[in-house]
């Protein structure tokens, strides 16, 4: 069982690390979109698509980058008590509290999947703005990001279980 947990952790961590490092460069995509928005307003006619496209890019950036941030321990914690605890105590608390996050992400994934299927069923749902882009691409990214976050949360739970069993998990990289 330990070998299966370690294999799961290795695959999920490697996948989310690769996606997270790729998505890091999404900040440049957002900058380019916003720069074009500024230039088009000053020199040409204002573009209809820039605001919404920047919002879509930002959504993809944080949804797909979230699992990587969790893996790297970059998530926000209340360190008032947590920072002083031993590694074993942290693993105990994390193993319990992560169950709430798993339930939340499962409900979020279910709702996201239903919303994505709605976009496909009714002839391609579109945004009600002047640009009117299809919504299925960003909804697909959101569902994929939530699924990746759920997989990463399970990986973190398995790491905590292995720590509680006294097994060395190595350094976070």
pLDDT tens per residue across span 76-88: 777 777 778 888 8
CA torsion angle 161 173 25 102 (round to 10): 10
Per-residue pLDDT for 105 more than 90?
Answer: yes
pLDDT for res 147 = 97
The closest alpha carbon to 71, from 159, 3, 145, 141, belongs to: 159
Contact 72, 148 (CB under 8 A): no
Tokens found for residue 104: 């939340």
Contacts of 7 (CB under 8 A, 6+ apart): none
pLDDT for res 83 = 77
Beta strands in the chain (DSSP E): none
In the block, residue with structure tokens 């960003």: 138
pLDDT for res 173 = 41
- Say which range, 43-52, 70-79, 97-106, 121-130, has the weakest mean pLDDT: 70-79
Please state, for a pLDDT cut of 90, what percent of the chain lies above it: 57
Query: Could you tell me the pLDDT band of residue 122, with boundaries at 50, 70 and 90?
Result: confident
Per-residue pLDDT for 133 more than 70?
Answer: yes
Task: Give me the half-sphere count of Cα atoms (radius 13 Å) on the Cβ side of residue 133.
Answer: 14
The CA-CA-CA angle for residues 97, 99, 100, to 5°, reads 75
- Rounded mean pLDDT of 142-160? 95
Identify the residue with better confidence: 81 or 111: 111
Radius of gyration of the chain (CA): 20
**In the chain, what are the domain boundaries?**
2-164
Please state, for a pLDDT cut of 70, what percent of the chain lies above it: 96
């Amino acid at each position: 069982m330990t070998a299966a947990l370690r294999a799961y952790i290795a695959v999920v961590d490697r996948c989310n690390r690769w996606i997270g490092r790729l998505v890091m460069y999404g900040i440049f995509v957002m900058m380019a979109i916003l720069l074009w928005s500024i230039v088009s307003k000053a020199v040409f006619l204002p573009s209809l698509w820039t605001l919404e496209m920047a919002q879509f890019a930002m959504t993809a950036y944080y949804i797909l980058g979230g699992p990587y941030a969790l893996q790297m321990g970059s998530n926000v914690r209340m360190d008032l008590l947590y920072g002083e605890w031993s590694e074993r105590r942290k693993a105990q608390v994390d193993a319990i509290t992560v169950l709430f996050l798993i339930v939340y992400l499962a409900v979020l994934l279910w709702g996201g999947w239903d919303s994505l299927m709605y976009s496909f069923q009714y002839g391609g749902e579109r945004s009600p703005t002047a640009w009117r882009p299809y919504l299925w691409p960003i909804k697909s990214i959101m569902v994929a990001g939530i699924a990746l976050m759920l997989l990463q949360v399970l990986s973190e739970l398995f790491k905590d279980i292995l720590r509680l069993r006294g097994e060395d998990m190595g350094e976070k990289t």
